[in-house]
């Protein structure tokens, strides 16, 4: 059963008067099915925080809407339910900090700083940059979400570097490497990142298949960064 069918059935069968109550409903409704709970929680997190972030700079652009649909291919029969969730999140009086705090407890492993939370932040970066720039208020939003998710500065910088720079980004930051690292250490880190971000691994930790487009973009950024680092380190070794 697709994640959108799951979400549609969940919304239809659950009495909800505020978006903040949805997160707790996910926890209880899917308590006996942790895999589905992770997938539904991830999808609802992206819908909720995307809606809140769209309001961060006061303007919801068509580019941001398009970016959402690039990574979330919602079948026509479920568009109405997803749109209603998005609109409810925008209207709910609860701030995004409250959502992020609740969502951190729905992490796939149930532990702080799990990888699914990093995936959520990565998706938010993708949407935020869609209009060609990351605005100051959006960066504050993203930084606050990262803090609530207990992601450290290195993790945040690595995600930021993948999304910002348009070719000028330091490839060492993308890979989480320090300048002066040995070739073997750099290659080890690169291979670990590729394994860690393989689409099958993301699905296993709760990222819906419908979201894998962002995983492919992440791998592309990692590979591009490694190409530059590899050339740099090999050139240094020949000196």
Q: In the structure encoding, which two tokens stand for residue 78, read together?
A: 């479920």
Model pLDDT, residue 210: 62
What's residue 19's pLDDT?
Answer: 67
User: Would you call 55 exposed, middle or buried from its count of C-beta atoms within 10 A (0-12, 13-18, 19+)?
Assistant: middle
Q: What is the mean pLDDT of residues 154-158?
A: 87
Calculate the average pLDDT of the chain: 79
Higher pLDDT, 227 or 80: 227
Q: Say what the pTM is.
A: 0.75
Look at residue 218 in the predicted model and tell me its pLDDT.
85
* pLDDT score, position 166: 44
Q: What's the mean pLDDT in 220-235?
A: 90
pLDDT at res. 187: 95
The answer to whether 46 and 121 have CB atoms below 8 angstroms apart is no
Of 152, 156, 130, residue with least CA distance to 142: 156
Query: Is residue 5 predicted with pLDDT exceeding 50?
Result: yes
- Tens of pLDDT, residues 90-145: 776 567 887 788 777 766 444 544 777 888 888 888 878 877 777 888 888 999 99
Contact call for residues 78 and 4 (beta carbons, < 8 A): yes
DSSP per-residue letters across 88-125: HHHH-SS-HHHHHHHHHTT-TTSSTT-HHHHHHHHHHH
Q: Which residue has the tokens 């990142």?
A: 193
């Amino acid at each position: 059963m697709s994640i959108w069918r799951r979400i549609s059935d969940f919304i239809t069968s659950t009495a909800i008067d505020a978006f903040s109550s949805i997160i707790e409903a996910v926890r209880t409704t899917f308590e006996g099915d942790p895999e589905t709970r992770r997938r539904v929680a991830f999808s609802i997190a992206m819908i909720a925080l995307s809606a809140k972030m769209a309001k961060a700079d006061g303007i919801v652009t068509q580019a941001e809407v398009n970016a959402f649909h690039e990574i979330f291919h919602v079948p026509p029969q479920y568009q109405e339910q997803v749109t209603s969730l998005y609109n409810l999140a925008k209207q709910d009086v609860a701030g995004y900090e409250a959502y992020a705090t609740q969502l951190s407890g729905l992490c796939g492993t149930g532990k702080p700083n799990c990888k699914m939370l990093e995936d959520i932040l990565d998706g938010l970066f993708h949407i935020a940059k869609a209009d060609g720039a990351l605005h100051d208020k959006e960066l504050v939003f993203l930084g606050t979400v990262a803090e609530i998710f207990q992601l450290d500065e290195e993790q945040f910088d690595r995600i930021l570097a993948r999304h910002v720079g348009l070719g000028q980004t330091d490839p060492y930051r993308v890979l989480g490497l320090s300048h002066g690292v040995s070739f073997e250490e750099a290659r080890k880190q690169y291979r670990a990142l590729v394994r860690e971000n393989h689409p099958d691994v993301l699905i296993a930790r709760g990222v819906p298949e419908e979201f894998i487009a962002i995983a492919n973009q992440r791998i592309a950024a990692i590979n591009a960064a490694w190409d530059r680092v590899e050339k740099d380190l090999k050139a240094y070794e020949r000196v």
